[in-house]
Amino acid sequence: MYKLLKIGCFIILSVTLSCQGKKEAKKPNVLFIAVDDLRPELGCYGQKQIISPSIDRLASGGLTFINAYCNVPVCGASRASLLTGMRPTADRFVGYATRAEEDAPQAVSLPEVFRNEGYYTISNGKVFHHLNDIRESWSEDPWNPAENGGSYLNYQADTNLNILRSGIKRGLPYEAADVDDNGYNDGLLAEKTINDLKRLKEMGKPFFLAAGFLKPHLPFNAPQKYWDMYEPDEIQLPDNYYPPQGVPKEAMHNFGELRSYYGVPAKGPVSDEMALQLIHGYYACVSYVDAQIGRVLDALDELGLADNTIVVLWGDHGWQLGEHSLWCKHANFKTSLNSPLIVKAPGFKNAGETRALVEFVDIFPSLCELANIDLPKQLQGKSFVPVLENPQRTWKDAVYSRYIRGESIKNQRYLYSEWTDENGVIQGQMIYDHNIDPDENQNIISDVSIQDTVKVLQRKLHQAIESRTK
Ligand SMILES: [Ca+2]
């Protein structure tokens, strides 16, 4: 009798343990890859000139969102919005140096939600703009090679180091140094992330591992070999190296960020020679960072973690590489707002691309749904998991972005933006028809035939602005 009882207890205990084991095993890990200033100029976005085999490989096993829009086209604000799942307003998530914990003190962050569910959470590189923002998000101190003993400028060439030492200005906005991958920050970041993957595997807990790569943010510094991947003769200025016809002045800017570097004039256009070097340098940085991402993805495979890990890769906003005669981000054009987003999740075999409109506030609820985690109250986006299930399905009819006073609404066909003064009086408007003008060269706001469309978009935009103030 005692023996039977003992066997019975053993069976019950075994079943309980194995169920717990199963439940633990089902919790997917998250590899959360942010890439600073990466625009969707990648092979998997149909761009032929760029060399991005690692990101393309990730995309081939996941879903590429062709129409992903950031909610605010500047680093700190975009990240704070994405990581809290809340939209920017006139008072919240405005500039590059946004602190999420100051602008949204009530918010629980995306990694914090996972940490509260028993995940081990790690932040490497640039995830929040400030390393210690919402510190309770992370199981251990966040680490960034640019801050832990390094620098964001990260120059290695004497020319630039000498300019920097002179104290006149930063160095040039680019450099090609004869160093190996770990000679710049992102190589070190890949190495730390790979070591963390090994450590996390040993630990055996579900994890949320964030790797925030620092390139292709200015300055465009990359090892020489990545510059050598591109023939200088094949680098060209964009077809629309001029402002759109009929553009309101509010839409344009002076690309002050670029002007803080040596050799860039205080006003007016950069020389064509520098423009081509900038494009070449951006490409070199994309290929450099792509190779570092490849190292991390290889490690994920080799450690046998890939099958149970959600991989999400995003660039925090777009970038003008001369389009509209602009450089940098900070604008309401598609070139600043349309951003890369690739998601590979266990159990979803629909590799390919989707044209569904999604926005960065949707990432938070999507990752929660994929990991079966309850949503915190503050979220203002919508999970796009149904799009992972069926990439062709009808989805959001519009997405929204804002920058300073410019408010934008994008539907499948149009991108409409408006700027108002303190009293709500409209100062500038622009609308582009992406069906016939995907590069946004002609603002058609004055066309008689577009006025009804503008009214509809305006009404939706104003309703959205009112609803996001919480
Ligand atoms: Ca950025």
Tell me the CATH number at 209: 3.40.720.10
Query: Residue 385 and residue 393: Cα distance in Å, rounded?
Result: 11
Query: Do 419 and 402 touch, CB atoms closer than 8 A?
Result: no
Total domains present in the chain: 1
The H or E element that residue 21 is part of is helix 2-26
Is residue 290 included in any domain, yes or no? yes
Output the CA 226–ligand 1 centroid distance in Å. Answer: 21
The H or E element that residue 9 is part of is helix 2-26
Is residue 166 included in any domain, yes or no? yes
Is residue 408 included in any domain, yes or no? no
Q: What is the CA radius of gyration of the chain?
A: 23
Query: Do 66 and 44 touch, CB atoms closer than 8 A?
Result: no
Is residue 170 included in any domain, yes or no? yes
Quick count: other Cβ atoms within 10 Å of Cβ 58?
A: 25
Half-sphere exposure of 290 (CA within 13 A, CB side): 25
Is residue 454 included in any domain, yes or no? no
Global pTM reads 0.94
Q: Which residues are catalytic?
A: 75, 129
Output the CA 8–ligand 1 centroid distance in Å. Answer: 59
Output the CA 258–ligand 1 centroid distance in Å. Answer: 13
Please give the residue range of the domain that contains residue 265. Answer: 27-397
Tokens 């053993």 sit on residue = 10
Is residue 317 included in any domain, yes or no? yes
Query: Residue 124 and residue 143: Cα distance in Å, rounded?
Result: 5
Output the CA 38–ligand 1 centroid distance in Å. Answer: 8
Output the CA 37–ligand 1 centroid distance in Å. Answer: 4
In the chain, the largest separation of any two C-alpha atoms, in whole Å, equals 93
Tens of each residue's pLDDT in the chain, 470 residues:
444 444 444 444 444 444 444 444 479 999 999 999 999 999 999 999 999 999 999 999 999 999 999 999 999 999 999 999 999 999 999 999 999 999 999 999 999 999 999 999 999 999 999 999 999 999 999 999 999 888 999 999 999 999 999 988 899 999 999 999 999 999 999 999 999 999 999 999 999 999 999 999 999 999 999 999 999 999 999 999 999 999 999 999 999 999 999 999 999 999 999 999 999 999 999 999 999 999 999 999 999 999 999 999 999 999 999 999 999 999 999 999 999 999 999 999 877 999 999 999 999 999 999 999 999 999 999 999 999 999 999 999 999 999 999 999 999 999 999 999 989 899 999 999 999 999 999 999 999 999 999 999 999 999 999 998 75
Is residue 423 included in any domain, yes or no? no
Output the CA 5–ligand 1 centroid distance in Å. Answer: 63
Is residue 434 included in any domain, yes or no? no
Quick count: other Cβ atoms within 10 Å of Cβ 246?
A: 15
